[in-house]
Structure 1
Amino acid sequence: MPWIEMLRFSSRRSPVVCTRGCTATSQPLATDAGLDILKKGGNAADAAVAMAAVLSLTEPFSTGLGGDCNCMFYDGITKKVYGLNGSGRSPQALTLDLLKKEGFDDTNPLPLYHANLVTVPGAAAAWCDTIRLFGSKKELAQFGKKGFYEGRIARTIVEIIQQNGGVMNLDDLKEHTSTEVTPFFTDYKGLRIWELPPNGQGITALMALNMLENFNIRELGHNTADYIHLLSEAMKLSFADCFWFCADPAKVKVPVEELVSKHYSKQRSELINMQRTNSQPLHGNPCGGGSDTVYFTAVDAGGSACSFTNSNFSNFGTGLVPEGCGFALQNRGANFSLSSEHPNCLAPGKRPYHTIIPALATSAATGQLLCSYGVMGGFMQPQGHVQVLLNMLEFGMNPQEALDAPRFCVNYKKSDSTWKLSLEEGIHQSASQELIARGHNVHWPVSGHDRSLFGRGQIITKGAWWDLQLALTAEDGQEVLWAGSDPRADGCAIGF
């Protein structure tokens, strides 16, 4: 049966097609703000920071100056990919011994809204650094980074944290810096997929793609029981590694090159049994979090792209709002382990396991930009990256169809060491029944507002690379941009 007959959904949105520039976010006002910057001559990085600022107002529960951000930038002239880690660190005074004295340990973690889960907000610095490193012309606020990490704002941040039992001080804020990083990649059938290195979880997607390369994906059929079983087993094996090894490389050694090697992934793929799920309890999972993040992207007329993720972690983070500032402080520290044996254990001045992961795809042969994309949503993010990418590459979907298609999500429950496989409405009941027979703990169908579990993505592709039968260039020779915005959110893609 041809793959197209396996689709159990109807795309209700058309892809956006344009040539001069494109933006895509989960909120129309933010998308429009980014496009305005492109029309005025700004580049993709300028547009991304503008969209980040607007999203802080339109989706304050998901993002804001009290959170973190990560971004990747593709330079259309040099064809190089750059990365910026804008995540914050734990307070220098926060130690495992201090938490143990207060009764908290690996079996009794801090409540999700505790003030000691606030890590230094990295977004403000990263916005400034994104413009400094990659931007062309957008001015930032009058006082820049210093105005946020020193002075009145810094004092109010420290005051609200300490009033609620936290230990962050002014030096923690003053000493914060973003980090320029070199993105990691893997090649999958001619595409070079780029993700940021740890402390982010992007390597989870790369490890899964390496394993899946050893199977005939297209032959399985889209969202069949075999397809979902294979992808979910690959994701579980990838998470098993990432939950243990992903940590702050400035504090512990993280064997990234070994984890994303083809040889290692071939060995891991041999553990997949197509007839039975692997239900072995897996260790090292940091405390769980929510899906309250924003992902957005921009591609400009010069061929540059900015892939950007900004987040408070869970709904409004800790819920602590510095007086007169209008933003909530994140609770990203919930992703630390409180076990002294774990590489990701809490330590002073350390970055935690981080879920937010922007992505890019280029041609492995030429370095040409092919796709700027991402799917936000906690531990759904690498799963979303893999699913929407395969939707386009293996099954010929355009960006909007790839985002519309029903998704699955595997979640690890630390309390009883079990995995749950959630299937979105639109995946056929027969697939659900077959997966149950193979031993999966299936939740089907997930519908309505609960579909937020599957994240919210944005995609901008260049040259219709997923379908070579489509025209790749406009009449004037300009490459065509194709874009989509996730229907699970209220946003849109806009181009000109």
Structure 2
Amino acid sequence: MGAGCGLTHGFGVIVAAGATLLAPLGSATAQQASNPQPVVTGPGDRIAGPSFATRSPAYGRNGAAATAHPLATQIAIDTLKQGGTAVDAAIAANAALGLLEPTGNGIGGDLFALIWDPKTQKLYGINGSGRAPMGMSLDDRAAREAKIKTSAPGRRPSFGSVTVTVPGAVDAWFSMHARFGKLPMSQILAPTISYADAGAPVPPVIAYYMAANLKRLDERAKAGEVEEFDNARKTYFANGAVQTGQVFKNPDLARTLGLIAAGGRDAFYKGEIAQRIDAYMRRIGGPLRASDLAAHHSDWVEPISVTYRGYQVWQIPPNSQGVTTLQMLGILNQFDMAKAGFASAESVHLQIEAKRLAFEDRAKFLADPTFAKVPTQGLISPNYLRARAGLIDPAKASVNVAAGDPAQFEKGDTTFLVTADSTGMMVALIQSNYRGMGSGLVPDGLGFMFQNRGEAFSLDPASPNVYAPGKRPFHTIIPGFVTKDNQAFMAFGVMGGAMQPQGQTQIVVNMIDYGLDAQSAGDAPRWRHEGGCEPEGGCKPGLGRVALESGFSQTTREGLTAKGWTLSGADGDFGGYQAIKRDPKTGVYEAATESRKDGVALAY
């Protein structure tokens, strides 16, 4: 049988590479070509699992990976099959995503990870976030911002050099690798270097976000908020917005990764790359210097946790917002969520109220603990969480929500990926350039964009998150992990700024309270609440608004409205999810990926 023929056996159908399927005259596809009205109103039927599930989880015993891009997942699996650890696979996938999904991450951004080590039976956390430039004071920062014309009156800059902090991802790679890696970094980075030179087709969701980023960054560059945009245009948008299926290349990034593969982390923080960054920043008038890069280091940190229905849920401590997820779950642990009912108005209402309470604490207390006293243990104290839960009225939305007093309880636009190997090592890794693709600034000839994570600082001297030289900003990116009976149960995460604690909470509730598998828990419709106070400063009074995906029933919508909530429709901003769950008895992995993005989960 020649290439391009459909191969059939029993009820299975395989379409060979290069095959073309032609719709017969009169078919639904042919009709749609001449009739713009939709002829399909929902997905096809599944014979197993919930009706809203998009696919089955991927199962395997030797290893698993789930990322936001199919090629990155394949690279992770290939790395495992070459004898690499789950950490090797995570680094390989993350490097690939910086090329393949530049809308979410890259080596100009920061990284956090949680790593389960089966040898020590312990969870390790790494904080790979970067610090503010030492040469820019709070007064300097405020003066720079005052000169910038932003997109709206009173809005602070979201792009340009004033938002750039030291990129932490590369150092975190090498810190993780030194402790848990096996393969040489040159081998780990080789697939991405090859794809950067040869190119890779762009899938539809990433193409959509690249077009949106081009439009926004171009506008901000013309307004002067982004000091230099020619490099970014040449690197990512040489022929305008990238189209779905178009082959995207980044030879500058291939060269940069080659320098890192050969020279290690010092190539980035002390060598040629650091010098190029310094020269670029001086050329455009930015504050970041080679000395800031040379002083950078990642930190190994003790993960923090709360108990939820007998499971231990873990996060990275501040400056990460992971404690916010733990607060939400700790509050919900005081309610019978199973009785409330899956996707019901009663269940969603309790989750929204838990979010509002936790986010007020988030705005008031979270910051870099090196510079501010953060009451982390008080925020997740069982007594404090019970007190916060007592403020919730199950029948109606609370008009006034404020931060609590945890001190009295004291005891002393992102990508997410998960990997697991045959030994039981599991990695939850999240990495981001922050808003969109980042600051809009691409250093000369290096092929990556700087993050704009520094936007997340406050300028209020009374805030614990106030800007200071050498300080880490409040951070939204949070990897999640769950253990059960001191054994690894799940590595998981949800991308998307303030959506992350909300999304992570929904995943845990869906799995533990409502019994959904890893894939269905992510496919279930999501809610997102907006409103209240922010760590960067500013508050939106009132109840805010609740965005609901289209999968929620009319009964749920009417029930939420009756409780006082203002609802809005789906806007596509509900995060991106990946997870790997492990059965401690059989060692079988169950991997899941986000149906709202381009990715895939694989196991073997």
* Distance across 1 between alignment mates of 2:495 and 2:102: 15
1:442 aligned residue:
567
Which protein has the larger Cα radius of gyration, Structure 1 or Structure 2? 2
**2:574 pairs with 1:481:** no
Match of 2:55 among 13, 18, 22: 13
Instruction: Give the AA of the match of 1:398.
Output: D
SS of aligned partner of 2:347: helix
SS of aligned partner of 2:581: strand
2:519 aligned residue:
400
1:100 aligned residue:
142
**2:288 pairs with 1:168:** yes
CA shift, 1:410, in A, is: 1.1
**Percent same amino acid among aligned pairs?**
39
1:289 aligned residue:
none
Instruction: Give the AA of the match of 1:74.
Output: W
Query: Is this contact kept in 2: 1:109–1:338, CA < 8 A?
Result: no
Instruction: Give the AA of the match of 1:333.
Output: G
SS of aligned partner of 2:262: coil
Query: Is this contact kept in 2: 1:53–1:64, CA < 8 A?
Result: yes
1:276/1:495 Cα in 2 relative to 1: closer, same or farther (>3 Å)? same
- Cα deviation, 1:173-211, whole Å, max 9, x if unaligned, reads 110100110100111111111100000000001111111
1:469 aligned residue:
none
CA shift, 1:139, in A, is: 2.0
1:91 aligned residue:
133
Instruction: Give the AA of the match of 1:199.
Output: N
Instruction: Give the AA of the match of 2:600.
Output: C
* Number of positions where the alignment pairs a residue of Structure 1 with one of Structure 2: 463
- Cα deviation, 1:408-447, whole Å, max 9, x if unaligned, reads 1112264643422111110112222222232222113x1x
2:466 aligned residue:
345
Match of 1:159 among 255, 259, 279: 279
1:494 aligned residue:
602
2:556 aligned residue:
431
Matches within 5 A, 1:3-152: 10-102=52-144, 104=146, 108=154, 110-140=156-186, 141-152=261-272
Matches within 5 A, 1:302-451: 302-363=423-484, 365=485, 367-412=486-531, 414=538, 416-418=540-542, 419-444=544-569, 446=570, 450-451=571-572
CA shift, 1:55, in A, is: 0.4
CA shift, 1:281, in A, is: 6.5
2:247 aligned residue:
none
* Distance across 2 between alignment mates of 1:280 and 1:104: 33
* Distance across 2 between alignment mates of 1:163 and 1:440: 50
Matches within 5 A, 1:176-325: 176-280=296-400, 292-325=413-446
SS of aligned partner of 1:142: helix
The worse-fitting range, judged by mean Cα deviation, of 153-162 and 12-21 is 153-162
Instruction: Give the AA of the match of 2:273.
Output: I
Q: Could you tell me which runs of 5 or more consecutive residues in structure 2 were left unpaired when the two chains were aligned.
A: 1-48, 148-152, 187-260, 405-412, 533-537
1:115/1:282 Cα in 2 relative to 1: closer, same or farther (>3 Å)? farther
TM-score by length of 1: 0.90
CA shift, 1:136, in A, is: 2.3
CA shift, 1:11, in A, is: 1.0
Matches within 5 A, 1:437-476: 437-444=562-569, 446=570, 450-451=571-572, 453-463=573-583, 473=586
CA shift, 1:103, in A, is: 5.6
CA shift, 1:109, in A, is: 5.3
Query: Is this contact kept in 2: 1:153–1:325, CA < 8 A?
Result: yes
* Distance across 2 between alignment mates of 1:432 and 1:9: 19
Instruction: Give the AA of the match of 1:131.
Output: H
CA shift, 1:282, in A, is: 5.4
Instruction: Give the AA of the match of 1:236.
Output: R
Query: Is this contact kept in 2: 1:161–1:320, CA < 8 A?
Result: no
The worse-fitting range, judged by mean Cα deviation, of 317-326 and 159-168 is 159-168
SS of aligned partner of 1:131: helix
Query: Is this contact kept in 1: 2:306–2:312, CA < 8 A?
Result: yes
TM-score by length of 2: 0.74
Query: Is this contact kept in 2: 1:8–1:428, CA < 8 A?
Result: no
Instruction: Give the AA of the match of 1:37.
Output: T
1:102/1:486 Cα in 2 relative to 1: closer, same or farther (>3 Å)? closer
- Cα deviation, 1:381-410, whole Å, max 9, x if unaligned, reads 111111111111111111111110000111
Q: Could you tell me which runs of 5 or more consecutive residues in structure 1 were left unpaired when the two chains were aligned.
A: 1-6, 285-291, 466-471, 474-478
